[in-house]
């Protein structure tokens, strides 16, 4: 089934319920596709839309990635903000968890009172989350995985791509000749989520 841009925008509009939208834009293919959809699909009932990039500073190319994201947003006439974060407690939490903690803290501080955060987790991310929760011995609540709308870190988070397969996202990106970032850390199987993705 092909990705349906209008359905995704309609879902975002419905879940946002009149609130402004802030897209978490990493520069990867998933969030780039969502940015392109928001910038090019008609959404007259959707309030103000902007995008934020979190620069974790963990890769030597992080500054270039932030610049790339700014340029993409500018070409799409999308308001953009880069936020540099200091990822702490890596030895204690692990790289992935420490980066996630810093990212969500920065996003929660950045989000305006009447604004929702839109993220680009998709169908495969949902499956990976479920497996990770199983491995951690999560109870029924944890095994429910991600919802299209949830409250976390003091924010309303909307995930409009949870029913969309990864190959549909990549197909859309290739069809529209999008130029996205491939983070080499996604190939590191020492990270649990990547191990699931690459091995299982």
Q: 116-164: per-residue pLDDT in tens?
A: 999 998 776 655 555 555 555 544 445 456 688 999 889 999 999 998 9
Q: Which pLDDT tens digit goes with each residue over 71-114? A: 999 999 999 999 999 999 999 998 888 999 999 999 999 999 99
Cα–Cα–Cα angle for 15, 133, 115, rounded to 5 degrees: 25
Cβ-contact 102, 87 below 8 angstroms? yes
Q: How many alpha carbons lie under 13 Å from residue 143 in its C-beta half-sphere? A: 6
Q: How confident is the model at residue 196 (pLDDT cuts 50, 70, 90)?
A: very low
Q: Six-digit token pair at 189? A: 């199987």
- For the record, the structure tokens of 106 come out as 């920065």
In this structure, what token pair is assigned to residue 1?
Answer: 């089934």
Cβ(180)–Cβ(68) below 8 Å: no
Instruction: Output the CA angle 193-172-97, nearest 5 degrees.
Output: 20
Residue 25 CB coordination number (10 Å): 28
d(CA 107, CA 154): 10
- Tokens 């349906």 label which residue? 4
pTM: 0.82
Question: CB–CB of 54/81 below 8 Å?
Answer: no
Query: Of how many residues is the chain composed?
Result: 200
């Amino acid at each position: 089934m092909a990705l349906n841009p209008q359905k995704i925008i309609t879902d975002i509009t419905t879940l946002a319920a009149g609130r402004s939208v802030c897209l978490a834009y990493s520069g990867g293919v998933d969030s780039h596709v969502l940015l392109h959809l928001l910038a090019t699909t008609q959404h007259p009932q959707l309030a103000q839309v902007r995008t934020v990039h979190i620069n974790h500073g963990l890769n030597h190319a992080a500054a270039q990635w932030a610049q790339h994201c700014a340029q993409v947003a500018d070409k799409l006439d999308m308001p953009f903000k880069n936020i540099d974060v200091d990822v702490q407690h890596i030895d204690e939490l692990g790289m992935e968890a420490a980066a996630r903690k810093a990212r969500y803290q920065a996003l929660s501080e950045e989000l305006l009172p009447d604004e929702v955060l839109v993220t680009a987790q998709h169908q495969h991310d949902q499956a990976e989350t479920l497996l990770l929760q199983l491995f951690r011995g999560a109870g029924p609540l944890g095994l429910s995985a991600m919802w299209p709308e949830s409250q976390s870190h003091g924010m309303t988070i909307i995930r409009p791509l949870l029913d969309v397969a990864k190959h549909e996202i990549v197909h859309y990106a290739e069809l529209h000749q999008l130029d996205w970032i491939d983070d080499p850390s996604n190939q590191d199987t020492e990270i649990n989520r990547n191990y699931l993705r690459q091995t299982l």
